[in-house]
Amino acid sequence: MSGIPASAFSPAARLGRIQPSPSTAAAARVRELKAEGRRILDLTVGEPDFDTPEHVKEAAIAAIRAGETKYTPVNGTPALREAIRGSLRRTHGIEYSDAEITVGGGGKQVIFLALMATVDAGDEVLVPAPYWVSYPDMVRANEGEPVIVATSAENRYKLTPEALEAAIGPRTTWLILNSPGNPSGAVYSEDELAALAAVLRRHPRVSVLSDEIYSEISFTGAPAPSLAAVAPDLRHRVLVVSGVSKSYAMTGWRLGYAAGDPALVKAINTLQSQTSSCPSSISQAAAAAALSGPQDFIARTVPVYAERRDAAVAGFSAIDGLEPLIPDGAFYLSVDCAGLIGRRTDDGRTLADDQDVTLYLLDRAGVAVIQGSAYGRSPFFRISFATDLGTLTAAVDAVAEAVAALR
Ligand code: PMP
């Protein structure tokens, strides 16, 4: 290794508390195998396979041509904030004031800043499992303690009021609620949210970070309900986080937002002013067009996701040892694989956990999925059906064949 100097890099302690996002690690493994020339049916991807709607792209191009290429206000352009307020009014019937809106480089960044603005060392954040991979590490990176709250299949992996009550302690700062959920696809009904609200009323220090990034990708016929709308008296304690990535196929534009207590929003803006100053002006123009323009893209794509969901549910249900949980929203399917644990591969290895199952499916079937342990619940794996029906059905067939080869 001559010629390469030893690194003088000395990581901060907080870096030791976190890991790179496992979904990104899975994507890297898939890229490696593809580079080796293997054909991989990739069901790991957490982003729509659709292209950004044309009118949105046009709005971005027009913004560039009009010279909207400078810094914007930290909390976004007035046009974007107005579009966000309109979207929240349309989906949830909630009227937010301008001072209650903040924007960032993706919902992910907004969540991170919200935690950074509120969590002190040792503060606890309740994270129902299965959870989106990033929540616990975002809490840890901000020196908080994620408290993982178990859910059960009987409750369709949703937090119950009893489990919430039992998990709240003197240091609890936040509850993170994610509906529709990644990876479960579970959607909390208005009644379920009202029952959680009843518990929260007894614990005035606990706020709720309501991650609603998939709210419009809902198969129930209406956007997933928001706690902020169901319990208006708690509205100032609920930070609604959303973005354009999923609903409008705009993951690469990096634009997310949040709505909540003006004091919290102001604190997030202060941090934003010292981190990115503002999200890309061009992405803001695009997002404003997505949120305030025609909504036919959502009306067109949700039935496509629903068709794929039905195909995936039917396909995986028919495989002995696998049990999918029918999702009511988002574009993920959690498949319980307890029935495969303990089975043996034809080269004599025993599948001990969902990591083994995932590696087996990748090697033997050429199908990439993500193991449940990444989401804090085992044994299962997550597939994404944000991919074409052909790939999905080919993957189901390949998994069926690989499972049939187990002993
Ligand atoms: N929340 C959840 C539950 C997600 O799955 C994602 C994307 N994977 C995000 C937030 C963040 O999305 P973005 O940063 O692209 O807005």
Q: Is the CB of 182 under 6 A from ligand 1?
A: yes
Could you tell me if the CB of 384 is within 6 A of ligand 1?
Answer: no
Q: What is the CATH number of domain 13-50+297-404?
A: 3.90.1150.10
* Residue 256 near ligand 1, beta carbon < 6 Å: yes
pLDDT tens, the chain, 407 aa long: 556 778 888 888 888 888 877 666 667 778 888 899 999 999 998 999 999 999 999 999 999 999 999 999 999 999 999 999 999 999 999 999 999 999 999 999 999 999 999 999 999 999 999 999 999 999 999 999 999 999 999 999 999 999 999 999 999 999 999 999 999 999 999 999 999 999 999 999 999 999 999 999 999 999 999 999 999 999 999 999 999 999 999 999 999 999 999 999 999 999 999 999 999 999 999 999 999 999 999 999 999 999 999 999 999 999 999 999 999 999 999 999 999 999 999 999 999 999 999 999 998 999 999 999 999 999 999 999 999 999 999 999 999 999 999 99
Q: Are 205 and 126 in contact (CB under 8 A)?
A: no
Give the residue range(s) of CATH 3.40.640.10 domains in the chain: 70-294
The answer, yes or no, to whether any atom of ligand 1 lies below 6 A from the CB of 180, is: no
Nearest CA to 322 among 227, 402, 254? 402
Continuous segment of H or E residues that includes residue 334: strand 332-336
- CB contact set of 347 (below 8 Å; sequence gap of 6+): none
378 Cα: distance to centroid of ligand 1 (angstroms)? 22
Q: The domain 70-294 is classified under which CATH number: 3.30.9.10, 3.20.20.70, 3.40.640.10, 3.90.700.10?
A: 3.40.640.10
For 185-252, the DSSP string reads -----HHHHHHHHHHHHT-TT-EEEEE-TTTTSBSSSSPPP-HHHH-GGGGGGEEEEEESTTTTT-GG
User: For position 270, what pLDDT does the model report?
Assistant: 98
The span from the CA of 238 to the CA of 103, in Å, is 16
Contact 184 CB / ligand 1 (< 6 Å): no
Q: Is 107 in the pocket of ligand 1 (CB under 6 A)?
A: yes
Residue with CA at minimum distance from ligand 1 atom 8: 46
Ligand 1 atom showing the smallest separation from residue 105 Cα: 14
Task: Write down the pTM of the prediction.
Answer: 0.96
Residue 46 C-alpha to ligand 1 middle, in angstroms?
8
pLDDT at 198: 98
First-to-last alpha carbon distance for the chain, in angstroms, is 46
Q: Where in the chain is the domain with CATH 3.90.1150.10?
A: 13-50+297-404
Is residue 108 lining ligand 1, measured as CB closer than 6 Å? yes
pLDDT of residue 30: 81
Q: Three-class SS of residue 184?
A: coil
Pick from 23, 45, 108, 331 the residue to mutate for probing ligand 1's pocket: most ligand atoms within 8 Å of its CB. 108
Q: Are 105 and 276 in contact (CB under 8 A)?
A: yes
CB of 392 within 8 A of CB of 308?
Answer: yes
Residue 251 CB less than 6 A away from ligand 1: yes
| Cα 213 to ligand 1 centre (Å) | 6
- Rounded CA-CA distance 188/46 in Å is 21
Distance in Å, CA 107 to ligand 1 centroid = 6
